[in-house]
Amino acid sequence: MDKQLLIDNIRKVPDYPMKGIMFFDVTTLFKDRRCLEEIVNEVFEIYKDKGITKVAGVESRGFVIGAAVAAKLGAGFVPVRKPGKLPAETVRESFAKEYGRDVIEMHTDAIEPGDVVLVHDDILATGGTASAAVRLVQKFQPKAVYANFIIDIIDIPRLSPISADVEVSSLLQLSEK
């Protein structure tokens, strides 16, 4: 994987969404064909032999890579969304993040007990969204759960660690500084 290509194409936005936060904007990776291919191919390589049956992409940037990887793995795609965005019955999980509280939801029929699920999102920072997404998926009692991120921001304290029984990977480990 060409890590430098990815690093060179990430837009850093200081003080967004609030003062003191350095926001890593991965949409700049998605608009570059080479970066998009690098990310999808690398995530596929990590998980191609894990028996993934569903990819749960976290709203909204997790949808982009999550859906592409699901298609490449021959797996289904499950959206993890903010409240009120899914049309049928949902299950929800609330969580704290670095700049407030939030809730995510999935359809109640999204995952079966025999599924092997990859949770994908763009950034792992304090762990709030990631750990909530994993907990949400685990409510369905799948066979196994994995978690993957494009970027792990390594110098931010994990306020909500991901469950120790979940294998976690990231393509890049970057500093907020």
- Mark whether 92 is an active-site residue: no
Task: Check residue 21 and give its pLDDT.
Answer: 85
pTM above the 0.85 mark? yes
Q: Which of 38, 42, 61, 105 is the catalytic position? A: 61
Q: 156: pLDDT confidence band, cut at 50, 70 and 90?
A: confident
- Dist CA 145 CA 168 (whole Å): 9
- Tell me, yes or no, whether 77 lies in a domain: yes
Distance CA 175, CA 92 (A): 31
- Annotated active-site residue 45? The verdict is no
Domain hosting 69: range is 50-174
Q: How does pLDDT run across 96-111, given as a tens digit for each residue?
A: 866 678 999 999 999 9
Domain annotation covers residue 5: no
Alpha-carbon distance of 62 to 41, in angstroms, equals 15
Catalytic pick among 59, 98, 112, 176: 98
- The number of angstroms, rounded, from the C-alpha of 23 to the middle of its chain's C-alpha atoms is 16
In a domain, 78, yes or no: yes
CATH code, domain carrying 97: 3.40.50.2020
Q: At what angle do helices 33-47 and 61-73 cross, to 10 degrees?
A: 60
